[in-house]
Amino acid sequence: MKQSFLFVIVSLIYINIGFSQETHTFTETDKKALEKIIVEKYYVGQSKDVKDTVGGVLAKKSVTYRVYVDLLPGYKLQTVWGSEEQPLFFKTSTYFYNNINGATTGDDLFDTISFKKNNVLLDSWISMGAVTRFYNAVLLSEDVNGSIFNHKQALLQKDGLQYRDVYRTVYFNLDLTPLEKRTKSQIFATNNGAWANFMGAQGATPENRILIAQFTTNGEFSFECNIQVGTPAGEAIQFVARNPQGEQVQHQSLIFSSKHLK
């Protein structure tokens, strides 16, 4: 693991919560804090969406995927990261959809009014739970408070949003170009960077599922990522896709391909 980056990330988190990184007393529950990664088919593009080219052209048969970290209650998501030995990537066999009126992270989306226009809500971005400045993400299956949308037929009853204070996303050493404006990109990746919330993000429902990314594409979607989780005791445990080192815990759900998604 490239110490110059991850040492800084871990040190800052421990300084924030007041614990030394030298002492770890992980319980068996801590090692199972990551229940799974959930990939939701949030929206399937319709012919009406393809015809709406304001802000960007949506390819036919595009699917909007939302990626959630599902944690045990009481645990907090601190960072999503990649290193030289354990790189992070989100990629597609075609291109990711980016809308000129969208943003690079959910909490940076301009406002709810802009979000309800054209195809802005299908934009590709990363997050620590937030979808807009005022709304956090919830799975459609857990959405019980109706919808703010009237321009997407499939989202008239449930929109995957819950009004509440949002967690702001902090970047470290990331190239965000693949998520910006009209960029035509096939991959968003890092081998020495992360996005984070140092207080730790928790889900908007008791199930504690935190959105970390939304990507829209008509190609095969795949990713590998690693996360750091804050424990109720104030320590931090890392879950990785591959090559676990030291006290890291390998978790197969951190590796995904849409060709296996029903």
Q: What's the pLDDT tens digit per position in 181-219?
A: 777 899 999 999 999 998 999 999 999 999 999 999 999
pLDDT tens digits for 70-79? 999 999 999 9
Q: In the predicted model, what is the mean pLDDT of residues 96-110?
A: 79
Instruction: Count structural domains, the chain.
Output: 1
The CA–CA distances, whole Å, from 44 to 64, 119, 174, 243 equal 6, 12, 29, 35
Number of Cβ within a 10 Å radius of residue 233: 12
Does 32 fall in a domain? no
Does 192 fall in a domain? yes
Give the residues across from 80 on adjacent strands. Answer: 195, 227
Does 129 fall in a domain? yes
**What values do phi and psi take at 40, rounded to 5?**
-105, 135
Does 81 fall in a domain? yes
Does 75 fall in a domain? yes
User: What whole-number distance in Å separates Cα of residue 43 and Cα of residue 149?
Assistant: 13
Inform me whether the pLDDT recorded for 101 exceeds 90: no
Does 254 fall in a domain? yes
pTM of structure: 0.91
Does 31 fall in a domain? no
Does 28 fall in a domain? no
User: What whole-number distance in Å separates Cα of residue 249 and Cα of residue 229?
Assistant: 11
Range of the domain at 65: 3-19+38-260
